[in-house]
Amino acid sequence: METVVQRRISEIVTKRDAGWKIIILLLTLILIFILSFALGRYPVPPGQLLEVLAARVLPLEPTWNATVETVIFQVRLPRIFAAILVGAALSTAGAAYQGMFKNPLVSPDILGASAGAGFGAALGIYFSFSMLGIQLMAFVGGLLAVGLTYGISIRIRHDPMLALVLSGIMIGSLFTAAISCIKYIADPYDKLPAITFWLMGSLASITPRDVYMVLIPILLGGILLYLLRWRLNVLAMGEEEARVLGIYTTLMKTIVIVCCTLMTAASVSISGLIGWVGLVIPHLARMIVGPNYRVLLPASILLGGAYLLLVDDLARLLASMEIPLGILTALIGVPFFLYLLLNSKWGWK
Amino acid sequence: MELELRNLSCGYGERTVINSISFSINAGEVIGLLGANGCGKTTLIKTILGLQPVQGGEVLLDGKNIKNWSSAQIARVIGYIPQMHTPPFPFQVLDVVLMGRTAHIKPFASPAKKDVKIAQQALEMLNISYLQDRVYTEISGGERQLVLIARALAQEPRILIMDEPTASLDFGNQIKVLSHVKQLAGLNIAVLMSCHFPEHAFIYSNRAVLLNNGRILCNGTPDEAITSERLKTLYGIDVDIVTVKNRMNQDLRVCIPSRSLAEQDKSLQLIERRKEYALA
């Protein structure tokens, strides 16, 4: 009798525990969100921010000058939303791939999405396309690279997961070489620096339109993965076991790849190459809430959004000049990952 | 529920490993599948589970061919217990058992309270409720195997298939796991279990199917089917089968392997010669 009661209690505690952790992560994200307005070359204090936001729905007398509104709605809000979206998308894709490949060292660019997007963008810059053109090229490039990887892998008669990873590495290298090729022939005074800066990743020139554009693919991929998150657990037990437990793995794998690619390619198309987020954040989330995707996925979304927003704030504030985001995520991500490796609580075996 | 294999042939690609075999399993029966490494036990199991294509013949459930069944349809009838393994992520035991409910819940849903209850009952049935909140990767091999059995039970299957469920378990855990297998048959589940040791088939199965070179060498009660001649054919070694009594005065058949004296002489001679070389 006692054991039954004890079990009930522990069940409730563990469940509540995960719920609380998610709420704390959400509050952290909101805190960084508000903080991000208050920091920068044109700080907006929380009180004023609330007034300006409230004025959108309530008939308030403006006590602030027009510049504040421009800063909030044209500059800071799009950038903050972009940072949260990109961070959340890369972390979700990374978490999903790590389960699907049964490997905690996998990141969202494993199938060549980033390299393909980089190639598309470089090509767009080379041909002097508009910003929109470059972004579309990057998005299509990412989809194309993963499409090639997938198409090749299903023709390899071997362990399908191994085939997928191998062809992903090949296609990734191929597109990386193609990027170098474009850089080599690009105008060294004009185009080459533009390509190089794009590849370093940045959210400095985000416009509201960019955010609207990537919202659709990121939400599409994210919502589908979120709905399928219980099945990601089963897929992490291995393909054969997942099939025996009743999952049509061929379809499930394809859905995961399509979702992750949509999210990664869309992110890279507006932010450039931002590494380490998709690898490190799922680990951190796993250390906090455990490996069950029911809570791991929401935790990755919140943590990824909060992390990239914080790093982007640092990119704005650390120096008098903007630091490229991709450099900063690596500079912070690598030591952090090493710390995780040295720490005994890995969240994976 | 009855699982019937009718003239079933299977293998990898062009190669045929199992050649037109037929047998059936009924509810409440435990069948021990015996054969040497590479004789096709695992291939046969994978084909029944739909992981490998059928090359010829058919797999029938209650007379219905399951060739075009979806993975979920098969999973609602057939449960599978793999060899002990370690997943890359430290899932909670209850979550692992809940994975058995996958075929019963909608694609976009997560397990509900009802599923948790079924999973907990499965753990209870195997007397491992205390493991519920433990981490699957941190419990012992024997416990992990019992959790996998609980997961298969949560599937509410009518047929259970086990691929050497005691491989890589220590002596005590082998016996503990196998005694639960016998208990499952009492739930009116049909069990097909491939085993390494003929002795396990004697104790825990009602019927033994002996596989040799992709064909059935014999299919019958363990006492009839497992003889020292057939074990010689299967494994290529001389075995004496003797009946002894355990401390509860039950008759037990045990297998005692023996090597011929000539062979032993030969190896002794080799050792002598080595010594001579070493001295010289």
Supply the mean pLDDT for chain A: 90
Tell me what percent of the residues of chain A surpass a pLDDT of 90: 71
Tokens coding B116? 């948790």
**Contacts A227 to B, Cβ<8 Å:** 107-108
Which range has the worst mean pLDDT, A14-28, B111-125, B226-240?
A: A14-28
Nearest Cβ partner of B95 from A233, A347, A349? A233
CA proximity to B173, closest of B138, B136, B146, B200: B146
Does B130 sit within 8 Å of A349, measured CB to CB?
Answer: no
Assess whether pLDDT exceeds 90 at residue A312: yes
Query: Which class for A170: exposed (0-12), middle (13-18), buried (19 or more C-beta within 10 A)?
Result: middle
Q: With an 8 Å Cβ cutoff, is A17 touching chain B? A: no
ipTM of the complex: 0.88
Q: pLDDT-derived band of residue B151, with 50, 70 and 90 as boundaries?
A: very high
Does A10 sit within 8 Å of B92, measured CB to CB?
Answer: no
Supply the mean pLDDT for chain B: 90
Which range has the worst mean pLDDT, B61-70, B147-156, B266-275?
A: B266-275
Q: What tens digit of pLDDT does each residue of B160-206 get?
A: 999 988 888 889 888 888 888 888 888 889 999 998 889 999 989 99
Question: Average pLDDT for residues A260-270, to the nearest whole number?
Answer: 96
* pLDDT at A346 (0 to 100): 54
Q: What residues contact B6, with CB distance under 8 A and at least 6 apart?
A: B22, B57, B58, B59, B60
**B92 DSSP assignment:** B
Answer whether B85's CB lies under 8 Å from B169's CB: no
Assess whether pLDDT exceeds 80 at residue A60: no
- Residue the block writes with tokens 């029966």: B29
Q: Looking at this protein, which amino acid is placed at residue B273?
A: R
Could you give the residue ranges of the DSSP H alpha helices within chain A? 2-38, 46-55, 66-70, 77-100, 113-126, 131-153, 160-185, 191-200, 208-227, 229-235, 239-244, 249-271, 277-289, 293-317, 325-342
Counted across chains A and B, CB pairs separated by less than 8 A come out at: 100
Does B103 sit within 8 Å of A233, measured CB to CB?
Answer: no
* pLDDT at A219 (0 to 100): 97
Question: Average pLDDT for residues A137-143, to the nearest whole number?
Answer: 97
Q: With an 8 Å Cβ cutoff, is A223 touching chain B? A: no
* pLDDT at A298 (0 to 100): 97
Tell me the shortest Cα–Cα distance from A268 to chain B, in angstroms. Answer: 28
* pLDDT at A337 (0 to 100): 79
* pLDDT at A5 (0 to 100): 53
Q: What tens digit of pLDDT does each residue of B216-245 get?
A: 999 999 999 999 999 999 998 888 999 999
**3-state DSSP assignment of residue B250:** coil
Nearest Cβ partner of A349 from B71, B129, B137? B137
Assess whether pLDDT exceeds 80 at residue A347: no
Q: pLDDT-derived band of residue A1, with 50, 70 and 90 as boundaries?
A: very low
Q: With an 8 Å Cβ cutoff, is B95 touching chain A? A: yes
d(CA A285, CA A296): 6
A-facing residues of B in 119-158 (CB < 8 A) are 129-130, 132-133, 137, 155
d(CA B143, CA B147): 6
- Mutation target among A6, A230, A249, A253 for the B interface, most CBs of B within 10 A: A230
Assess whether pLDDT exceeds 80 at residue B92: yes
Assess whether pLDDT exceeds 90 at residue A92: yes
Question: Average pLDDT for residues B106-129, to the nearest whole number?
Answer: 94
pTM check: above 0.80: yes
Answer whether A87's CB lies under 8 Å from A332's CB: no
* pLDDT at A51 (0 to 100): 85
Which range has the worst mean pLDDT, A245-259, B8-22, B252-266?
A: B252-266
Does B102 sit within 8 Å of A3, measured CB to CB?
Answer: no
Nearest Cβ partner of B88 from A3, A103, A245? A103
**Contacts A290 to B, Cβ<8 Å:** 90-92
Q: pLDDT-derived band of residue A345, with 50, 70 and 90 as boundaries?
A: low
Nearest Cβ partner of A247 from B82, B90, B102? B102
* pLDDT at B165 (0 to 100): 87
Answer whether B214's CB lies under 8 Å from B40's CB: yes
Assess whether pLDDT exceeds 50 at residue A12: no
Q: pLDDT-derived band of residue B86, with 50, 70 and 90 as boundaries?
A: confident
Q: pLDDT-derived band of residue B1, with 50, 70 and 90 as boundaries?
A: low
* pLDDT at B84 (0 to 100): 75
Q: Which DSSP helix (H) or strand (E) runs through B156? A: none
Q: What tens digit of pLDDT does each residue of A189-248 get?
A: 999 999 999 999 999 989 999 999 999 999 999 999 999 999 999 999 999 999 999 999
Q: What residues contact A119, with CB distance under 8 A and at least 6 apart?
A: A141, A145, A175, A178, A179, A182
Using CA coordinates, name the residue in chain A closest to B138. Answer: A349
* pLDDT at A13 (0 to 100): 44
Assess whether pLDDT exceeds 60 at residue A259: yes
Q: pLDDT-derived band of residue A88, with 50, 70 and 90 as boundaries?
A: very high
Q: pLDDT-derived band of residue A71, with 50, 70 and 90 as boundaries?
A: confident
Q: With an 8 Å Cβ cutoff, is B75 touching chain A? A: yes
d(CA A249, CA B66): 18
* pLDDT at B13 (0 to 100): 82
Using CA coordinates, name the residue in chain B closest to A11. Answer: B133
Q: How many CB atoms lie within 10 A of CB A338?
A: 10
Q: What residues contact B12, with CB distance under 8 A and at least 6 apart?
A: B43, B52
Q: What tens digit of pLDDT does each residue of A173-203 get?
A: 999 999 999 999 999 999 999 999 999 999 9
**Contacts A158 to B, Cβ<8 Å:** none
CA proximity to A90, closest of A268, A236, A334: A268
* pLDDT at A22 (0 to 100): 94
Q: What residues contact B70, with CB distance under 8 A and at least 6 apart?
A: A248
Q: How many CB atoms lie within 10 A of CB A46?
A: 11
**3-state DSSP assignment of residue B186:** coil
* pLDDT at A333 (0 to 100): 84
